[in-house]
Structure 1
Amino acid sequence: MVKANQNRRQPSNNRSKPKFDRRNAKPRDIQPQVPVETGDEAEQSEFVFGRHAVAETLKTGSVQTINKLFVQADLSSDAVHQIVQQAQQKKIVVSQVPKSKLDLLSDGGNHQGVMVTIAPYAYASIDDLFAVAAEKDEAPFFLILDNLEDPHNLGSIMRTADAVGVHGIIIPKHRAVGLTSTVAKTSTGAIEHVKVARVTNLAQTINILKERGMWIFGTAMDGQDFRQWDASGATALVIGNEGKGISPGVAKLMDATLTIPMVGHVQSLNASVAAGVLMYQAFSSRQVSS
């Protein structure tokens, strides 16, 4: 059984690759804006659009991060009215604009007649992610996204991560998608609940996570069947790039690898789909453990 054991082993400078069954492993030590307008200044802001995403942003965001709500001038549905009321209760400026303006700002996206402008999303630190787990009194469970490029994949992954209780996501600063309005829209509000840390060097960060008590799992064609994975301990799951998978420098740092058996003609899954399958296996094993 692939296992992130609840028993933690002490850090070591001479780490040998752990055996597949970790039940007898020794423990690792776990450590616990500016106003914007629709003109040139709008380029300095992020946009969240779509009724569900906007409502969630208004519910969880603060007046310091949310600047203005744009509403399509000719809309008067109950859903839009409730969104306007949310904004007014927080004393957020509401501006009626023509549909063409929302089409332009959303780059033709499905804005459903509402949009908010917000300050660029703030990233968390690795310590922040550990703090989330500590606050819930749970063994840390992180996702590490190795140079993911598609904002829709990141948004979908964030949505599932929120559903299964992931404590945080780690992404690289360079050659990878960051937190954008497209990510926010695709996440349907999960971006407000899942902390994301952005780091300069993923390999270095993984080594730090190991020193702080985490087991690192990745995907590989010759890995062990994911259905036998027990992620009940301090666990980080690495999801690779959409086309290239996990980079060689990161792959060699895996404690163990997992594979998703497939019997169809297409022998690969979209990154967000694969991440979702693995996250739910981790969620299941952690629920049984707790």
Structure 2
Amino acid sequence: MAGNSKRRGAVRKSGTKKGAVIGSGGQRAKSLEGKGPTPKATMRPGHPAQRRAAAAAKTAQRRASAKDRPTAELVAGRNPVVECLRAQVPATALYVQLGVDADDRVTEAVRLAADRGISVLEVSKPELDRLTGGALHQGLSLQMPPFEYAHPEDLLEVAGASEEAPLLVALDGVTDPRNLGAVIRSAAAFGANGVLLPQRRSAGVTAVAWRTSAGTAARIPIAVATNLTRTLRAYAEAGMMVVGLDADGSTDVDGLSLATSPLVVVVGSEGRGLSRLVREVCDETVSIPMAAGVESLNASVAAGVVLAEVARRRRAAGRT
């Protein structure tokens, strides 16, 4: 009789409201129900493809963060190393190849490094090849620390603390480090309070730029703007006048009436000049008159001409 069987699972347990448990209890039917589409291998936890995808993503993230961080620079070659040491370029170590033929340049490099307290390290040729990435090092390499850039707001603070009208120099698309170094040198020579660089499409303060600046990169703050146009607008809201150097400028340098005002001089690239958005921010664009048939000046020379005129007008205004 049903319910009287002594088989295990066929008799109702005391304290429950269920009747006799017979069969699978519907588990077989449930096991036949679909569980949706099978996830891709890269989405299945523990799957080899998923582990490989996770490792690749982690590597890509690490490389991206490393790209954003400033890294040390190695200058290779006897002449470049000696020139950097003569120009007082900041350095952390001088690498000298074991058994290198010590000519006058090697001797001078070691002496200059020792006088400045820079570590002189002897390494094997294979190690020096690895450090310099296979560059022609001639047995000498100099390690520079990453350049420490200021914040764009720091330039405003420095300019505001000046007793004279603030003067800043901004570069728009100057990608040649030699031109950058020359602009920095002119900015320091003619009393500018700082130099502003865009984060993209611009040369940085490398060993080449430092050498060309003749060491003035250590005496004037240099900032990097994430968005040059937005930063120039912020400078304008702070009371600065923005003047751009342009071959088709609205006025020539002789008519630069804004020279004695709080001023930002924007220097464009040699090829395309000022970008459209930067030109729209400018209160005035200035050109440099030249003889017919002469090509336009490069960025550093043009910046020097305009900054010299600004300095002349300010001196004249101070005498009146």
Aligned length: 237
Distance 1:225 1:131, change over 3 A: same
- Distance between the aligned counterparts of 2:317 and 2:82, measured in 1? 37
Contact 1:168 1:194 in 2 (8 A): yes
Alignment of 1:195 onto 2:221? yes
Give 2:256's aligned amino acid.
W
Distance 1:249 1:89, change over 3 A: same
How do residues 151-170 of structure 1 correspond to structure 2 at under 5 angstroms?
151-170=177-196
Shift of 1:50: 4.8
Shift of 1:107: 5.2
Pick the aligned partner of 2:275 from 211, 228, 247.
Answer: 247
- Distance between the aligned counterparts of 2:232 and 2:146, measured in 1? 26
How do residues 67-82 of structure 1 correspond to structure 2 at under 5 angstroms?
67-70=92-95, 74-76=102-104, 81=108
Contact 1:68 1:93 in 2 (8 A): yes
Shift of 1:266: 2.5
**TM-score, with length taken from structure 1:** 0.69
Shift of 1:69: 2.9
- Distance between the aligned counterparts of 2:251 and 2:134, measured in 1? 43
Quick one: higher RCO (CA 8 Å, sep 6+), 1 or 2? 1
Distance 1:91 1:219, change over 3 A: closer
Shift of 1:73: 5.8
Distance 1:242 1:222, change over 3 A: closer
Structure 1 runs not aligned, ≥5 long: 1-42
Alignment of 1:94 onto 2:120? yes
Pick the aligned partner of 2:264 from 233, 236, 259.
Answer: 236
- Distance between the aligned counterparts of 1:55 and 1:277, measured in 2? 28
Structure 2 runs not aligned, ≥5 long: 1-69
Shift of 1:267: 3.8
Shift of 1:160: 1.6
Give 2:265's aligned amino acid.
L
Contact 2:85 2:113 in 1 (8 A): no
Distance 1:133 1:55, change over 3 A: farther
- Distance between the aligned counterparts of 2:238 and 2:183, measured in 1? 24
Shift of 1:209: 0.2
Give 1:67's aligned amino acid.
T
- How much identity, in percent, do the aligned residues show? 32
- Distance between the aligned counterparts of 2:262 and 2:184, measured in 1? 19
Larger Rg: 2
Give 2:267's aligned amino acid.
I
Shift of 1:237: 0.6
Give 1:178's aligned amino acid.
G
Shift of 1:45: 1.5
Distance 1:168 1:99, change over 3 A: farther
Alignment of 1:261 onto 2:289? yes
- Distance between the aligned counterparts of 1:283 and 1:51, measured in 2? 34
- Distance between the aligned counterparts of 1:159 and 1:50, measured in 2? 20
Give 1:68's aligned amino acid.
A
Q: Match of 2:168, SS?
A: strand
Shift of 1:187: 2.1
Contact 1:73 1:98 in 2 (8 A): no
**TM-score, with length taken from structure 2:** 0.63
Contact 1:54 1:114 in 2 (8 A): no
Shift of 1:270: 1.1
How do residues 26-37 of structure 1 correspond to structure 2 at under 5 angstroms?
none
**Cross-structure match for 1:271:** 299
Please identify which structure carries the higher strand content. Answer: 1
